Structure 1
Amino acid sequence: MFKEAVFHRPKNNFVYAYNSETLHVRIQTKKDDINSIVLHFQDPFAFDGVGIEHSTVAMTRIGTGSLYDYWQGEISSPHIMRIEYCFELSDGEETCFFGESGFCGAYEEIKNHFRYPYLHKADVFDAPEWVKETVWYQIFPERFANGDPSNDPEGTLSWGSEPPSETNFFGGDLEGIIQKLDYIKDLGVTGIYLTPVFKAESNHKYDTIDYMEIDPQFGDKETLKRLVKEAHDKGIRVMLDAVFNHSGYYFKPFQDVLENGEQSKYKDWFHIHEFPVKTEPVPNYDTFGFTYTMPKFNTQNPEAREYLLKVARYWIEECDIDGWRLDVANEVDHAFWIDFRKTVRDIKPDLYIVGEIWHDSLPWLQGDQFDAVMNYPFTSRVKDYFAYRSISLAEFREGIEELKFMYPQNVHDVAFNLLGSHDTPRILDECGDDKEKVKLLFLFQLAFSGSPCLYYGDEIAMFGGGDPGNRACMVWDEESMDLELLEFVKQLLHLRKEHKALSRGEIGFHVREDCLAFEKHYGDETLFVVINNSDEPGTFEFDHEHFSFLLLNGESVEEEKAISLPPKGYAILKA
């Protein structure tokens, strides 16, 4: 037994309250080393039949990564308050027990158990339930649709007449989005995520000038109110994007600092290193990156803090938005985000909070700050396998298993899973203009748990590299759309809505060397997904006796034991 690889800590993603009556307990061991694990647990204060007496539950291997196996045991009881616990591990030749003090040969020899001190309902991760059924559609407002030419900024170009640049404008606005709500609904998405709409100098609007006003080129507050109301009437939620890490250069408090220097009442709203303030050759104040036009807020300053929290409250109360996406969230202090969550949840208890973080984000996903982050670790693994084919099937399975173990299950239930965004090349570009690869990316994303997000135009095969190429004008001419891909995406979204195993079920891989295959279970439903990520035909044999196709033209395979898939072929089957 390779004891050096056995790891557990009594918190975070290793033991957590899945709900008010269920604890998940996890442990990590060396890959292919341990045969079985039994979880021993009890109430440390149990006596004479009061409290949970010594009990056991067999743990399940829920995943295997490149180096480790991941195990989980579930303790479910309406009477759970606190437990102490340890693990009984066996590799077929040796059995030992593992507690907080380490390993020993018998249960009676354990000096210190691990402890889960108390299950507080207030500590249970409580993301909005509606998010589990939501599919998002990210819109870059300046490039989606021009519904009101009267508010076009000076120098606006004809729609799609030139390639996108960092400085050109095409007149996209909120009225254009309102006019296209039927398209969005017909697509099958149920949430819209808008990149910033507040007054700013640039076309991307991440350099805010006024957090309390809609940019005039997009409309005004009444336009946003109407957009939210009409979206709600069609069953579509709306999430706005806020930049609380930094302001724009022309934000009035920062302009006051530039004008009045050390005498400015706003000087402590920012991280100014010295006076006078300089922008070149390197700004002598903290910024986003080293971009002098984006001065970083000092969110520990009480006045700046209260101003930003006022902004967060205002747009919920004024326009009834359903979520906040928070830019550069990892560079803002945790104390601010804790206050932020309390502030917005007091107004709207089921508001969805998504932070822009590109890496392991567990410190922000403990239930006191965000509900989700931009799940780029998911994005990179999926693109590595389907788009670039830079990893093997085994490496992909291992990567997804490691990702699953990175966070508690209830975090994954509402994860914001994306394939592309305004910050990444379009997926068709990533796939080398191979639309069959794009289909496989969409299929895996929409068959995975969590809350997926589509980037506008990807569903019709828009092409473009990184910024600014990924921010082209939405194509509305049907002759220039890939209608076959659009119909495929609609079909997937319909299946996801009709079969909750796709959106809710936990993924369980089948180990095969030729085709990617996994099952998803929810309630009484079992779905089976097979994907041939190869340029050669593939055959997949399955164990269940009865399946019927949900895709691939609805053909029946109930009497078959195997299915043949063409190159880049796929199937979703129902048991």
Structure 2
Amino acid sequence: MIKRLSFALFYTLMVFEFLTGQSDAHAAETKKTDLIEHLEPAFWWVGMHHPELQILVHGDNLGLTRPQIQYPGISVKSVERTDNPNYLFINLSIAKNTEAGRFDIQFFAENRLLTSFQYQLKSRKANSAKREGFGSKDVIYLITPDRFANGDPNNDSITTLKEQQNRNKVGGRHGGDLQGILANLDYIEDMGFTQIWTMPIMLNDMPNYSYHGYSTTDYYQVDPRFGSNALYAELSQRAAKRGIGIIQDVILNHIGSEHWWMNDKPSQDWINNDGKFSPTSHRREALHDPHAVESDVTGFNDGWFVPTMPDLNQKNPLLANYLIQNSIWWIEYANLSGLRVDTYSYSDMAFLSDWTKRVMLEYPNLNIVGEEWSVNPAIVSFWQQGSERHSDYQSWLPSVMDFPTQANLIKALTGLETWSTGLLKLYETLTNDFLYGDPYNLVVFADNHDMSRIYSQLNENEALFKMAMTYILTTRGIPQVFYGTEVLMANRGTDDHGVIRSDFPGGWQGDKVNAFTRVGLTKSQLEIQTLFKTLLNWRKTSSAITEGKLKHYAPQNGVYVYFRYTQKQTVMVILNKNDKSMELSLGRFSEMLGNAKQGTDILRKTEVALTDKVKLESMSATILELR
């Protein structure tokens, strides 16, 4: 069969040469990469932990060709073909001492050179493998790139792409971009944020609702409406000089229906459910249910989110390896400090284990956080490395998003104070930390891009808002703050995601309100922005918050007290939910107070005597640095 199809390709080339009147040699020269529609990854690095590289090649009948490489230290280990003759997967072995350089990948049909591609192996940056990922010392700033700041109006609309800018459309593209983030690094640094997590920035060439980025149509190209690959790398480089890391949002579960794969799938089993829409059940519990039937498991894992998001079949080893290499490629290329993985548990479980293992072996100190949207800590903790679990499943995932804390934060602050409700919900959440391999490496948040803003969830009650954010920024874990939270952005009366992800004030020329310069902000907005700046920058100096352990006391009478501590420092945090000021007796907390006689109130910048009682304002949060 291969020989017969190879002859067909050979005949096609002969017809081309006859029609153009070119000689064999000249045709091969001028047609260098014309036959290759995609070759990914387009370059790689020497000195990687994993000594093998798989290159995907796509083009008319290229799967029928024979690749050849001549370069010291490089050998073609094997070639894999699928049921689609337009794809070829080349498995290279890269010797440990291979030097960086360029070489041609030549493609032959019979003994005739059809085309070639000049490949490059680059040198890695110094200590690339030892890079430090984000951690509890950091505060993550979550940005929707299309809605943060428009730094380059020239890329607002790209005529070759399907959706153009329309800032008047809630779900449309508004023009924010990477240049807008670059232009406002001063603000991000000054506020005290140390990591930037952007919603996906890869190409999303979808006809509608493409701004959010979760319908990838090219895994190796930044959407030109956001900028370019080079600009993304520049953002990372310039942010790093300010002590700010870049976290990339990764989608392993699905692609956009306009991805180029969908026009010519690499294999029949590349997309789940035979490439036809079949909705996921969203029943993640089936993965853990001892009574589950297999159809419930596959109904969750293999189902699609929506018809425009084809669900990837990571059981296909070629696809699995493609996704693994893509993540490593971006970490190395853009010098990332971590990854956030969208809809983590929806992908194949065995693949997730392989994916995390490969990435973490390449970058042992990196951090990766997976999104498992469940309020059940037993289900969330399952995915974190080191957790005790009900099976022998091996997870290499360092961190997970702490959805149980987010849900119970809202219940704690909006619920009545009874023996089983109110602040007790925060206490109960932390009592489940025994389930996690490392509760101090969880990402904690009051809201994110997929839910109503915290200010709206708390019914625009500023006192409760301050308590919520104080908790998120001082409890165990790695805090994440959604852009605009620091200026009380809200979504009153609607849960439309386009409204939740509204434009950051001041990000567009002509905005009357500018949160970057503080022009036009209300008194409340100014107060909250100042609160964030104070708390975030103090947090950097506090070993107790960034490195310390946590001890807490069961809430009593509407007051919840917890301590963060190291050998060098102890911090006492008090949440008072009572609508009246009160005095809190300190005798109960003697174990943690120790010999401390005084404390500095971080938020009010006053000194507090720790003798008998502490005065608490109504509906307030207090942070005391003990001495």
Q: Which residue in 2 is equivalent to 1:45?
A: none
Gaps of 5+ in 2: 1-129, 158-162, 282-298, 387-394, 507-513, 588-592
Checking the alignment, whether the CA contact within 8 Å between 1:387 and 1:438 is kept in structure 2 is no
Checking the alignment, whether the CA contact within 8 Å between 1:249 and 1:255 is kept in structure 2 is no
Q: What root-mean-square deviation, in Å, do the aligned CA atoms of Structure 1 and Structure 2 show?
A: 2.6
Check if 1:141 corresponds to 2:141. no
Checking the alignment, whether the CA contact within 8 Å between 2:134 and 2:366 is kept in structure 1 is no
Residue aligned with 1:474, SS: coil
Superposition pairs for residues 50-449 of structure 1, below 5 Å?
131-153=135-157, 155-158=164-167, 162=168, 165-166=170-171, 168-200=172-204, 201=206, 202-257=210-265, 265-273=266-274, 289-359=304-374, 360-367=379-386, 368-387=395-414, 392-393=421-422, 395-408=424-437, 411-449=438-476
Gaps of 5+ in 1: 1-125, 258-264
Instruction: State the distance in 1 between where 2:581 and 2:414 align.
Output: 18
Give identity over the alignment, percent: 28
Checking the alignment, whether the CA contact within 8 Å between 2:146 and 2:177 is kept in structure 1 is yes
Instruction: State the distance in 2 between where 1:382 and 1:564 align.
Output: 24
Q: What is the Cα deviation at residue 217 of structure 1?
A: 0.4
Q: What is the Cα deviation at residue 559 of structure 1?
A: 6.2
Q: What is the Cα deviation at residue 128 of structure 1?
A: 5.6
- Of 352-361 and 392-401, more deviation after overlay is shown by 392-401
Check if 1:530 corresponds to 2:538. no
Distance 1:490 1:281, change over 3 A: closer
Q: Which residue in 1 is equivalent to 2:504?
A: 474
Q: Which residue in 1 is equivalent to 2:558?
A: 514
Residue aligned with 1:268, SS: coil
Q: What is the Cα deviation at residue 444 of structure 1?
A: 0.7
Check if 1:493 corresponds to 2:536. yes
Q: What is the Cα deviation at residue 387 of structure 1?
A: 4.3
Q: What is the Cα deviation at residue 459 of structure 1?
A: 0.8
Checking the alignment, whether the CA contact within 8 Å between 1:241 and 1:325 is kept in structure 2 is yes
- Of 563-572 and 199-208, more deviation after overlay is shown by 563-572
Structure 2 residue identity aligned to 1:315: W
Checking the alignment, whether the CA contact within 8 Å between 1:172 and 1:218 is kept in structure 2 is yes
Instruction: State the distance in 1 between where 2:488 and 2:411 align.
Output: 19
Q: What is the Cα deviation at residue 561 of structure 1?
A: 1.7
Checking the alignment, whether the CA contact within 8 Å between 2:193 and 2:536 is kept in structure 1 is yes
Checking the alignment, whether the CA contact within 8 Å between 1:212 and 1:311 is kept in structure 2 is yes
Checking the alignment, whether the CA contact within 8 Å between 2:217 and 2:256 is kept in structure 1 is yes
- Of 502-511 and 193-202, more deviation after overlay is shown by 502-511
Q: Which has the larger radius of gyration?
A: 2
Structure 1 residue identity aligned to 2:313: N
Structure 1 residue identity aligned to 2:165: T
Residue aligned with 1:556, SS: strand
Checking the alignment, whether the CA contact within 8 Å between 2:345 and 2:372 is kept in structure 1 is yes
Q: What is the Cα deviation at residue 413 of structure 1?
A: 1.6
> 1:461 aligned to 488, 508, 521, which one?
488
Distance 1:559 1:165, change over 3 A: closer
Check if 1:504 corresponds to 2:550. no
Structure 2 residue identity aligned to 1:439: K
Q: Which residue in 2 is equivalent to 1:566?
A: 617
Instruction: State the distance in 1 between where 2:166 and 2:526 align.
Output: 27
Structure 2 residue identity aligned to 1:341: T
**CA deviation map 1:345-401 (0-9, x unaligned):** 343332211111023223321254211111111111111112455863463254223
What is the count of residue pairs matched by the alignment?
A: 433
**CA deviation map 1:69-113 (0-9, x unaligned):** xxxxxxxxxxxxxxxxxxxxxxxxxxxxxxxxxxxxxxxxxxxxx
Q: TM-score, normalised by structure 1?
A: 0.71
Structure 1 residue identity aligned to 2:350: A
Q: TM-score, normalised by structure 2?
A: 0.65
Instruction: State the distance in 2 between where 1:231 and 1:437 align.
Output: 33
Structure 1 residue identity aligned to 2:403: Y
Residue aligned with 1:208, SS: coil
Distance 1:216 1:533, change over 3 A: same
Superposition pairs for residues 5-44 of structure 1, below 5 Å?
none
- Of 527-536 and 511-520, more deviation after overlay is shown by 511-520
Instruction: State the distance in 1 between where 2:401 and 2:607 align.
Output: 38
Instruction: State the distance in 2 between where 1:165 and 1:389 align.
Output: 36
Structure 2 residue identity aligned to 1:492: L
Instruction: State the distance in 2 between where 1:371 and 1:463 align.
Output: 32
Distance 1:559 1:297, change over 3 A: closer
Checking the alignment, whether the CA contact within 8 Å between 1:209 and 1:247 is kept in structure 2 is yes
Structure 1 residue identity aligned to 2:364: P
Q: What is the Cα deviation at residue 254 of structure 1?
A: 2.1
Checking the alignment, whether the CA contact within 8 Å between 2:415 and 2:421 is kept in structure 1 is no
Structure 2 residue identity aligned to 1:516: Y
Checking the alignment, whether the CA contact within 8 Å between 2:456 and 2:490 is kept in structure 1 is yes
Structure 1 residue identity aligned to 2:622: A
Q: What is the Cα deviation at residue 429 of structure 1?
A: 0.4
Instruction: State the distance in 1 between where 2:623 and 2:150 align.
Output: 38
Distance 1:389 1:216, change over 3 A: farther
Checking the alignment, whether the CA contact within 8 Å between 1:133 and 1:503 is kept in structure 2 is yes
